[in-house]
Amino acid sequence: MDRLKLVMIAFIAFGHMAIRAEAQPQVAVLHSQRAWTVERTYYPDQRLQVCSAFSHNRTQQTEDYIGFNVRDDGMVSVNVITSRRLWSNDFAGTLVLSINQQEDINLNGAAFRSGGGMQSVLFTFAPQEDKSGVWRLLASGRTISMKDPSSKRNLITWSLSGSTAALNVHKACTAKIIRYRNLGY
């Protein structure tokens, strides 16, 4: 597993919290179609499961991930991890995502981090707080872009090809891990 993927898995599950490295996470690929992959990751140290749907861009110069994740406690997160240099300091701000270059979704209070040659953005919310309809828009779109909040120019764009099928698998994965948690597993 490459370095960026491991960093992404860590941010997906825990945001920007420190992670104990006592046991390796157990990752199961549940689905992969076109630009999207769905994985279930189990962290034995924390007894935590996470379902992740993500897309990955890679060129010779850059590597970018965008992930939509649900932990077994029901919390949802949107994660962007990139090797690009888009900002220089850590800050809280607005993550602007655009579906099909038409509908902007403003996620206020996102955590922007920079360090170790990587940059990340994390926005976490409870499912009932999805007032912007992120899930619905993802399933119906062709592309998703991260925009600069002030200039509104696209910074990174990912394909949504395969996202409808991925989100269906993701939804089933999420229902299963939440049910297991509620049963005490």
Q: Please, are residues 111 and 122 in contact by the beta-carbon 8 Å criterion?
A: yes
* pLDDT for the residue 1: 43
* pLDDT for the residue 140: 81
* pLDDT for the residue 13: 47
Task: State how far the Cα of 52 lies from the Cα of 98, in Å rounded to an integer.
Answer: 20
Closest by Cα among 126, 41, 17, 13 to 75:
126
Residues paired with residue 99 on neighbouring β-strands, in sequence order: 103, 144
Q: What is the pLDDT along the chain (185 residues), one digit of tens a residue?
A: 454 555 555 554 445 344 445 689 999 999 999 989 999 999 998 889 999 999 989 887 889 999 999 999 888 899 999 999 999 899 999 999 999 998 788 999 999 999 888 999 999 988 777 666 777 788 888 999 999 999 999 999 999 999 999 999 999 999 999 998 888 86
The CA-CA-CA angle for residues 22, 25, 27, to 5°, reads 170
Residues paired with residue 135 on neighbouring β-strands, in sequence order: none
Domain formed by 3-182, architecture: Sandwich (2.60)
Prediction pTM value: 0.85
